[in-house]
C-alpha cells in the first residue's frame, strides 16, 4: 500500500492512508471472551482486506461506559495503516444513554489519538451505532436530535425490530419449506420508513446498514434526502436465501438481517452499481460455541472484513467497488477532503485467506 511508508516514523506522526476501502459495518464484542475477536484481530483483518477505515461498534449489550473500548481503539489508531472509528451506542435499556460520558473517549479515539485527526469536526464528530432496531419513535427521535446537536452520524439497522424478532429467514417458499422463523420483507419498509421520517423531522444524518430487500433499497433511493445513506452487507450481495436450501441448516449462513431472496439480491447489486447503495462488510465474529447450535439458537453473523473487497471485485468491478466501498462511505463520515480516486489494490488481495473468514470459507465450500 502506498501510504504504508508513512507508518515508519514515530507514532505521533502517523498519517493514516488518505484513501482505501472504508467499512461502516463491522462490530466486535468488548470486553471479549478468549475465543472472541480482539480489536487488534479486527485491525489485522482490515489490513488484509485493504480496508483503511473501519467503523466498529460493540455489539450485543454495550456498556454505557465503554471508555476502555474507546481506549483500545485509540491505541490501535493507524496501526497497520488502518484507522479505527469507535462507534458510540446512544441507547441503553429503553432510553437514551448518557452519551456525553462516552463521547469524550470516542472523540479522543477518533480525533485526538495520535495520527487520527481526520474526522471533519463540523461535519461528523462521532458515529452513533444502534446495535438493534429502535422501534420506539420517541426514542429514535431523541437519538436523532442528540446526534444532530452533536454532529454524529447514526448508523441504524434497516428493519422493524418487532417484526424481525427471532427471524433467521425471509418469509416465503424457502423459510416455509425449512420451517424457519421468518420476517416479512415489509419489516424493512417499515424500518426504513421510520428512519426517513425521523431524519426529515430532525435533520440528523443516518446511515441505514444491512439493507436486504429490493423494496427497502428503492424506498431509500426515492427519499431525496442526501443525509440518509444506506448499505448492503457483502454476504447479501454474494448469497441469497437458496443457500439455506443447498446447505441445510448450516448456521454459518445465518445473517442478521437474513439472506435476501434471489430477486432482492439482484436488485441490491443493481442499486450498488447505480451508486444509490453502499457496501459494508457486516463483519461480526461469532465464536464456535454460539455457532454450533440449533439454527434458531445460533447467533447470526460472521467474519467478512478480510475478504469483502476480494469477493466483491468479480461481481462489481474495480470502479464500482472503489466508489461503493471506498469513496461513498468515506463521505458518509464527513470526510470531503479526501481526493476521489479508486483505492489502490492492496497486495495479496487475491490470495484467499479463509481460515478466519466465514464468508470466504462458505463461498469456497459452495463452489466445490
Partner 1 sequence: MTTKGVLSLPHLMGIEGLTRDDATLLLDTARSFIEVNTRQLKKVPALRGRLVALMFFENSTRTRLSFELAAKRLSADTLSFSSSGSSVSKGETLLDTAANIEAMKPDLVVVRHEASGAPWMLERVMSGAIANAGDGNHEHPTQALLDAMTLLHRSQRQPKDGLAGKTVCIVGDISRSRVARSNMLLLPLLGAKVRVAGPATMLPAGLRDVYDVEVFDDVDEALCSGAPVDAVMMLRIQKERAARAVMGSDDDYAVGYGLTKDRFARVLARNDAALVMHPGPMNRGVEIDAEVADSPHSVILEQTETGVAVRMAVLYLLALGHSRGVEGGAA
Residues forming contacts to partner 1 in the complex (CB under 8 A) are 171-182, 184, 248-249, 289, 292-297
Q: What is the dihedral of CA 180, 186, 192, 193, to 10 degrees?
A: -150
Give 95 or 179: the residue with its C-beta nearer to partner 1. 179
Output the furthest CA–CA distance in the chain (Å, rounded): 59
Report the nearest approach of partner 1 to the CB of residue 165 (Å).
13
CA 121, CA 107: separation in Å to the nearest integer? 10
Strand residues in 213-321 grouped as ranges (E): 228-233, 278-280, 283-284
Cβ distance to partner 1 smaller for residue 253 or 267:
253
Evaluate whether 231 touches 283 at the Cβ level (below 8 Å).
no
Of the pair 248, 368, the CB lying nearest partner 1 is at 248
Least Å from the CB of residue 158 to partner 1: 19
Nearest to partner 1 of 294, 355 (CB atom)? 294
257 touches 210 (CB < 8 A)? yes
Residue number, 137 or 173, with CB nearest to partner 1: 173
218 exposed, middle or buried (CB, 10 Å; 0-12, 13-18, 19+)?
middle
Q: Are strands 95-96 and 91-92 parallel, antiparallel or unpaired?
A: antiparallel
CB-based contacts of 351: which residues, under 8 Å, 6+ apart? none
| Pairing outcome for strands 126-129 and 152-157 | parallel
Smallest gap, in angstroms, from Cβ of residue 289 to partner 1? 7
Query: Residue 356 Cβ, how far from partner 1 at the closest point, in Å?
Result: 21
Residue showing cell 462511505:
329
Task: Give the angle 150-55-213 at the CA atoms, nearest 5°.
Answer: 100
- Burial of 149-183, coded b for 16+ CB within 10 Å and e otherwise, reads ebbbbbbbbbbbbebbeebbbbbeebbeebebebb
CB closer to partner 1, 108 vs 249: 249
CA 292 to chain centre: 24
Task: Rank residues 261 and 281 by Cβ distance to partner 1 and give the closer one.
Answer: 261
Write down the residue that cell numbers 441505514 correspond to.
208
Which CB sits closer to partner 1, 9 or 176?
Answer: 176
Amino acid at each position: 500500500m502506498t501510504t504504508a511508508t508513512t507508518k515508519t516514523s514515530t507514532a505521533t506522526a502517523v498519517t493514516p492512508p488518505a484513501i482505501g476501502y472504508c467499512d461502516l459495518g463491522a462490530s466486535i464484542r468488548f470486553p471479549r471472551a478468549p475465543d472472541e475477536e480482539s480489536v487488534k484481530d479486527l485491525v489485522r483483518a482490515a489490513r488484509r482486506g485493504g480496508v483503511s477505515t473501519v467503523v466498529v461498534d460493540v455489539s450485543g449489550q454495550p456498556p454505557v461506559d465503554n471508555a476502555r473500548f474507546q481506549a483500545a481503539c485509540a491505541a490501535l489508531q493507524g496501526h497497520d495503516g488502518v484507522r479505527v472509528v469507535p462507534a458510540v451506542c446512544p441507547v441503553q435499556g429503553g432510553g437514551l444513554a448518557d452519551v456525553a460520558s462516552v463521547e469524550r473517549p470516542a472523540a479522543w479515539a477518533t480525533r485526538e489519538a495520535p495520527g487520527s485527526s481526520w474526522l471533519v469536526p463540523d461535519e461528523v464528530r462521532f458515529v452513533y451505532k444502534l446495535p438493534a432496531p429502535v422501534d420506539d419513535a420517541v426514542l429514535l427521535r431523541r437519538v436523532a436530535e442528540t446526534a444532530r446537536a452533536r454532529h454524529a452520524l447514526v448508523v441504524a439497522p434497516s428493519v422493524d425490530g418487532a417484526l424481525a424478532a427471532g427471524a433467521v429467514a425471509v418469509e416465503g417458499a424457502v423459510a416455509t419449506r425449512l420451517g424457519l422463523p421468518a420476517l416479512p420483507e415489509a419489516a424493512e419498509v417499515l424500518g426504513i420508513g421510520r428512519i426517513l421520517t425521523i431524519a426529515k423531522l430532525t435533520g440528523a444524518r443516518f446511515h441505514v446498514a444491512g439493507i436486504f430487500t429490493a423494496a427497502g433499497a428503492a424506498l431509500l433511493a426515492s427519499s431525496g434526502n442526501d443525509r440518509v445513506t444506506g448499505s448492503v452487507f457483502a454476504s447479501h450481495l454474494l448469497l441469497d436465501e437458496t443457500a439455506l436450501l443447498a446447505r441445510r441448516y448450516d448456521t454459518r449462513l445465518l445473517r442478521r438481517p437474513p439472506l435476501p431472496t434471489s430477486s432482492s439480491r439482484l436488485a441490491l447489486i443493481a442499486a450498488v452499481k447505480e451508486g444509490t447503495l453502499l457496501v459494508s462488510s457486516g463483519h461480526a465474529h461469532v465464536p464456535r460455541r454460539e455457532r454450533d447450535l440449533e439454527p434458531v439458537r445460533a447467533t447470526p453473523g460472521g467474519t467478512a472484513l478480510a475478504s469483502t473487497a476480494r469477493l466483491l471485485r468479480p461481481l462489481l468491478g474495480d470502479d464500482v467497488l472503489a466508489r461503493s466501498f471506498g469513496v461513498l462511505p468515506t463521505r458518509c463520515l464527513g470526510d470531503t477532503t479526501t481526493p476521489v480516486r479508486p483505492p489502490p489494490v492492496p497486495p495479496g488481495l487475491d490470495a484467499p485467506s479463509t481460515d478466519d473468514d466465514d464468508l470466504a470459507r462458505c463461498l469456497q465450500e459452495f463452489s466445490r
